[in-house]
Amino acid sequence: MRELRAGKVSAVANAILTILKIFAGFLVNSTALIADGIHSLIDVLGSVLVWIGIKISMKPPDELYPYGRIKAESLAELSVGLIIVFSSITIMHEAILSLINRSIPEFEFYALGVAMFSAVVNEILARYKIKVGLETKSSSLIAEGKHSRVDVLSSLSVFVGLIFVKFGYWWLDPVIAVVISVLILQTGFGILKNSADSLMDKVDLEMIVKIRQIVERVEGVEGVEFVGVRGTWKAKIVEVQISVNPGMSAETIDVIEKEIEERVRQMIPEVVRILVVTKVKRPLVVAIPEDGYGSYTGDIDSPYFTIANLSKGESYRVENPHYGVERRKGFLVAEFLSNHNVNVLIVNRIGEGAKSHFKSRGIVVRFEEGRSVEEIISLLKKDVKEEI
């Protein structure tokens, strides 16, 4: 894999630069050059961690990791960020000590050559890693590339500092080292933020909107209730909750779910897994007890019920065949209303026994006060959700 090869190339190159810069830095007593060498040494560890993270993230899902190990690369990116922050603090500490102790570096052309060579190599590495990272969608490799771009500035700063040393401005060497450490620290915090966002499944609003639009265009989908995306930039796991009309066969629902998966994968290649949860959208049908003249009674022992399908905006009046019965009134009325597909009963009083009968039939009891059936229906249209 290209990203693994890039990680290995980076590790080898940084190892060579580490030896050259630290060796030259000690010879000329340059804190900035030694600090830059330490930075490259830590880069070697970062490159190794990136390589390990990419390697682990490629392992397929299993029983212990049903969603795979895609977050391993984010952990590697987090490690790189921590390493960068640690290296910047180390460099700053050494530079301040050098300034306090008046550690004066010597000017040598070979040290100048090492600093320029390091800048050129790091720029080549930065372009190579960022290019491969973008093409393979490897966030940890892109983080390493950005790190190398900071190394370019670091080495160029050392180069400029050594020139100033030539003209007697020795104190600029440790000052430049402090400036380098600040630049490195900013890069480290940026990488830490990106990795933390990935590990904490921060919402990608643009992708969620795109997935929602794709799903809404699938024939048979009545509504998209929820879209969730998690994973890394390279590999996304998507969860979609949709609603369909009642009466739709299991075979048809299965076709809809497969169509959603195919379309999302086709439009968004980085999606590696899609979980589709389907809910049957039930029409909201309410029963309102009344006296036959449109006045709301609020009691199941009423001569009539108005049955209103609020989802369709339709209503009709039915006579209560169990009006005035003495025994099993709750059970009989619940059965009667269930046959009319009622799923909400509007009352202002009801016994606990009768209420349990309605619950067993899947009918929700809602308490409302009002004077007319029209008033109750108007109230329900404002306050009751379209699904229960």
Greatest mean pLDDT range, 103-112, 132-141, 197-206, 319-328: 319-328
With contact defined as beta carbons under 8 Å apart, do 36 and 170 qualify?
A: no
pLDDT, position 316 = 94
pLDDT, position 132 = 81
Greatest mean pLDDT range, 115-129, 152-166, 219-233, 340-354: 340-354
**246-269 per-position pLDDT tens digit:** 656 678 888 888 999 999 988 888
Average pLDDT of every residue of the chain: 80
Residue percentage of the chain with pLDDT more than 70:
87
pLDDT, position 301 = 92
73: Cβ contacts below 8 Å, ≥ 6 apart: 53, 54, 56, 57, 138, 139, 140, 232, 234
Q: What is the mean pLDDT of residues 113-142?
A: 80
pLDDT, position 333 = 94
164 has pLDDT over 70 = yes
pLDDT, position 41 = 73
pLDDT, position 4 = 66
pLDDT, position 160 = 76
Greatest mean pLDDT range, 13-17, 234-238, 251-255, 294-298: 294-298
Q: What is the mean pLDDT of residues 340-367?
A: 88
Q: What value, to the nearest 5°, has the Cα angle with vertex 130 and ends 124 and 134?
A: 150
pLDDT, position 40 = 73
Q: What is the mean pLDDT of residues 94-104?
A: 75
Cα–Cα distance, 386 to 388 (Å, whole number): 7
Residue indicated by tokens 């993230």: 57
pLDDT, position 105 = 63
pLDDT, position 388 = 43
386 has pLDDT over 50 = no
pTM of the shown model: 0.51
- Which of the pair, 176 or 211, is modelled with greater confidence? 211
Q: How many CB atoms lie within 10 A of CB 318?
A: 13
Strands lying side by side in the sheet with 223-231: 223-231, 236-244, 271-280
- pLDDT band with cut points at 50, 70 and 90 for residue 372: very high
pLDDT, position 233 = 67
Paired strand residues for 305: 289, 318
DSSP code at position 105: P
Cα–Cα distance, 292 to 273 (Å, whole number): 56
**Lowest mean pLDDT across 172-181, 225-234, 248-257, 332-341:** 172-181
Greatest mean pLDDT range, 178-187, 192-201, 330-339, 366-375: 330-339
Greatest mean pLDDT range, 40-44, 149-153, 218-222, 297-301: 297-301
Q: What is the mean pLDDT of residues 229-248?
A: 78
> In one letter, which amino acid is 300?
I
Cα–Cα distance, 282 to 343 (Å, whole number): 9
**Lowest mean pLDDT across 25-29, 156-160, 359-363, 382-386:** 382-386
